[in-house]
């Protein structure tokens, strides 16, 4: 997250608490808002709407940072981006129109333009590396799932004090993040459990062995 951008916009944003599983917005591009995940985590599912059947074309996970900044400059009429809260979160929002007004006329407009550009560059850089990592495991569903679990463990995990990390995530969410079907995801998890790299500890919780 670009700290300077957050410092500029946070005082102007409204805050709301969300529960895990709530939809933040069915489509970021049409929400009319820029969001800042202050605490918690959100997963964004990008879906192509150009065909008769919606097709998932990508996912984005964020545990702290901005969502919707790209909509200040770019619209994708051929796709929608549904944002779902992954765990209990505090999320700030601000109308896109208000941000654009600041970019055009605000006292800090030049600095704000630079910070928005920096934030978008950071997001693009991080997403590119995440996609490259997933591409390495594209033909290996088990490693794909394990890679995502390790990533979530780093950001959401809770140490059990015995060398393991508990991760609160549902199979459906894992499937969304990996781009696999739920059946393939469950099969990959079963293999990881057999190899004792992961353990299921109740509904929606996994233990990954560090």
Query: Which has the minimum average pLDDT: 82-86, 121-125, 173-177, 191-195?
Result: 121-125
Residues 105 and 189 in one domain: no
Asked whether the beta carbons of 5 and 115 are under 8 A apart, the reply is yes
> Is the per-residue pLDDT at 41 higher than 90?
no
What is the chain's mean pLDDT, rounded?
78
Residues 146 and 125 in one domain: no
Residues 22 and 45 in one domain: yes
- The boundaries of the domain holding residue 188 are 137-209
> Is the per-residue pLDDT at 91 higher than 90?
yes
Residues 106 and 154 in one domain: no
Residues 181 and 82 in one domain: no
> How far apart are alpha carbons 116 and 118 in whole angstroms?
5
Supply 176's token pair. Answer: 């969304």
Torsion from C-alpha of 92, 96, 99, 103, nearest 10 degrees = 150
Residues 193 and 123 in one domain: no
Residues 171 and 122 in one domain: no
Domain count of the fold of the chain: 2
Domain final residue, candidates 93, 115, 135: 135
At 66, which CATH number? Answer: 2.60.120.10
More confident residue, 199 or 56: 199
What pTM does this model have? 0.61
What pLDDT does 94 receive? 92
């Amino acid at each position: 997250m670009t700290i300077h951008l957050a410092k500029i916009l946070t005082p102007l944003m409204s805050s709301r608490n969300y529960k895990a599983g709530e939809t933040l917005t069915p489509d970021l591009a049409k929400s009319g808002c820029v969001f800042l995940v202050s605490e918690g985590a959100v997963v964004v599912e990008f879906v192509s709407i150009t065909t008769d059947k919606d097709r998932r074309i990508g996912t984005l996970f964020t545990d702290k940072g901005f969502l919707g900044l790209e909509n200040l400059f770019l619209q994708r009429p051929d796709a929608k981006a549904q944002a779902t809260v992954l765990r209990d979160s505090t999320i700030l929002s601000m109308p896109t129109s208000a941000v654009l007004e600041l970019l055009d006329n605000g006292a800090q407009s030049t600095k704000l333009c630079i910070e928005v550009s920096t934030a978008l560059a950071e997001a693009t850089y991080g997403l590119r590396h995440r996609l490259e990592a997933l591409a390495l495991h594209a033909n290996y569903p088990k490693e794909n799932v394990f890679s995502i679990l390790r990533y979530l463990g780093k950001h959401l995990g809770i140490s059990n004090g015995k060398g393991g990390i508990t991760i609160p995530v549902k199979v459906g969410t894992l499937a969304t993040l990996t781009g696999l079907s739920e059946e393939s995801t469950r099969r990959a998890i079963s293999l990881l459990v057999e190899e004792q790299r992961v353990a299921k500890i109740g509904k929606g919780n996994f233990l990954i062995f560090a």
